[in-house]
Structure 1
Amino acid sequence: MRTAIPSGVASTPRRRRRTGRSPWLHVVMIPLTLLWMSPIVFVAMISVRTFDDIAARGLSALPTSISLEGFATALSGGGLLRALGVSTLVTALAVLASLALSSWAAYALSRFRIPGRRAILLLMLAGNLLPAQILLVPVARISEGIGLQDTLAALILVQVGFGIGFYTFVLHGFMQGLPEEVFEAARLDGAGPGLIYRRIVLPLSRPSFAALAALATTWVFNDLIWALTILRTEAKFPISAALLNLMGGYGSSWNVIAAASLIAAVIPALVFFAFQKQFVSGLLVGSSK
């Protein structure tokens, strides 16, 4: 005669095995997290100290009092707020244009029989392997030749041009892995390529778009080399070039420079935390296949 075992009793050991975590994970990750956060904490501590305190006790000393002198000086001088607005505008337009164009290209290359599509994809990816330093002079000459030198439009075009190859490569790999049955069902219902792109491809590719948007925002927002190559007017400088000018004017005022660096990091941090869940999902897409 068999005795029935209550389901709760039978599932308890299995649940413990499933949810049990090794304490060594915390032992390893906590020091690594503290090490990763130490530069940010160090800059934040400097930003809330006064210039006299830093000059008297050095950079490594703990603050004796909290002062927002560095933030006030950074915001009042050097055009930091204007540069922050310029960077936000350039980043938003460049990221939106890059993802839109790369999604169209990835959709076409992954779902249509285009002659030489693999060569096209490899050529687009190879453009990102060229170091930016050898392209500074050609890009500057081209922007002068078409009359876009010292304009934000030229900076946006450069950011789009140098980012679209990598974004297309990533989106192509994701879109190629979408179930073919979904597309066949949509074609049987009479949906055309445009409708399939809007109703099927875009919703299913949301994790990839979020991951690329977070990465692209960081790259474009923090770019310095293309801003200095194309722009000449200080009023048009993005936040990275404005920080460089601020260091020239406040070279010894470490609290001002630290405060300005924290202000410049606000926008990328907000974007990353806004897309954090989708960003992790986009990185893990296909890991269970």
Structure 2
Amino acid sequence: MTTTTTAPRDTVGGGPREGSRPNRRPVRPARILLYVVLTLVALGWLAPLLLAVYASLRPYAETAKYGYMSLPHHLSLRYYSQAWSQGGMGKYFLNTLIITAPALVLTLFFASFIAFALARFRVPGRKTLLILFTAGNLLPPQVMVTPLYTLYNKIPLPYWLSDSGTVYDSYLGVIAIHVAFQTGFCVFVLYNYMQTIPSELTEAAVVDGAGVWRQYWRVILPLSRPALGALATLEFTWIYNDFLWALVFMSTGDKLPITSALNNLRGEFFTDYNLLAAGSMLVALPTLIVFFALQRQFVSGLTLGANKG
């Protein structure tokens, strides 16, 4: 009697057996090329930052003798403490906080409320308003410098808000111009996001007796958290790094933001670029902290609508 032995099949009912490893797709040359290009681009963006960090840890005499790309003989954090004390960065960080925090909060509040009104109510001419908000971002800021400078010197303010008695040379003037220029972009982004929120949610809130403010604060705003997180990261970076408006609308050196502290690290006849690199790293540190703190919301905001049909 002959016994026939058959090998175990990897499939049951024509499909892969449970626990078997699925067949991997072959890696296409185009995908390999894409990864190579993205890696090179990422390294290109990181190279200046890494070089600045490397230079900030080395004495200037060493880099002057052997070059910036040479191997280090001595590394220390001495330049960071020197940059902090010599640049007076504590005072300038406080100035930047006074400008950035109110400007960021007001920009997001005004933009979210305007976007809510345009997205949820039949406002006459809302498409025209949205186009105007968007078109305002296309205007170069430099075009507005001269008329705004003249206007700021003519608008009076009480002395507890401005030492000069006008909007010029006051924190309020710099905050106002940031809010004015950044609100349009935020309205455009938030309007498009709020359009994707089902209208049944606000209709249910109206049935429950919710007014306009409650619809905005309790329903729409919590659902817009990813978009607000992404915008908060971008707006903080833009407002924090801006130096044009503070330079034009402020004359008192002690009121200038942190970006001006780097000027204090430049000598009249000689500039220690390693010290300047350490100061740049200190200036960039808050933006990195904000990015990593809001990283999840930032990525969620960037991918909004990616899976919509």
Change (3 A) 1:203 1:283: same
Percent identity at matched positions? 39
1:170 aligns with 2:189: yes
Change (3 A) 1:249 1:212: farther
Change (3 A) 1:57 1:149: same
CA distance in 2, matches of 1:155, 1:142: 13
How far off its partner does 1:10 sit? 4.5
Greater relative contact order: 1 or 2 (C-alpha under 8 angstroms, separation 6 or more)? 1
TM-score computed with the length of structure 2 as normaliser: 0.85
How far off its partner does 1:89 sit? 2.6
2:254 maps to 235
Residue pair 2:98, 2:171 contacting (<8 A) in 1 also: no
Give the counterpart letter for 2:223 in structure 1. L
Counterpart among 118, 122, 133 of residue 113 in structure 1: 122
Change (3 A) 1:11 1:119: farther
Report which stretch shifted further, 56-65 or 20-29: 20-29
Residue pair 2:58, 2:75 contacting (<8 A) in 1 also: yes
Unpaired runs of 5+ in structure 1?
none
2:307 maps to 288
Provide, for residues 111-142 of structure 1, a one-character-per-residue CA deviation record: whole Å limited to 9, x for no partner. 11111111111112211111111111112112
Change (3 A) 1:156 1:248: farther
Q: Aligned residues, how many?
A: 285
Provide, for residues 188-209 of structure 1, a one-character-per-residue CA deviation record: whole Å limited to 9, x for no partner. 2222221111111011100000
Counterpart among 14, 17, 38 of residue 9 in structure 1: 17
Change (3 A) 1:137 1:248: farther
1:188 maps to 207
DSSP-derived class of the 1:210 partner: helix
Counterpart among 82, 88, 92 of residue 79 in structure 1: 88
Give the counterpart letter for 1:235 in structure 2. D
C-alpha RMSD of matched pairs (Å): 2.4
What are the equivalent positions in structure 2 for 1:20-99 lying under 5 Å apart? 24=32, 26-99=35-108
Give the counterpart letter for 2:129 in structure 1. I
1:104 aligns with 2:113: yes
CA distance in 1, matches of 2:267, 2:138: 32
TM-score computed with the length of structure 1 as normaliser: 0.90
CA distance in 1, matches of 2:280, 2:294: 22
Give the counterpart letter for 1:121 in structure 2. L
Larger radius of gyration: 2
Give the counterpart letter for 2:98 in structure 1. L
Change (3 A) 1:252 1:233: same
How far off its partner does 1:91 sit? 1.2
Unpaired runs of 5+ in structure 2?
1-10, 156-165
2:273 maps to 254
1:179 aligns with 2:188: no
Report which stretch shifted further, 27-36 or 131-140: 27-36
Counterpart among 150, 154, 167 of residue 145 in structure 1: 154
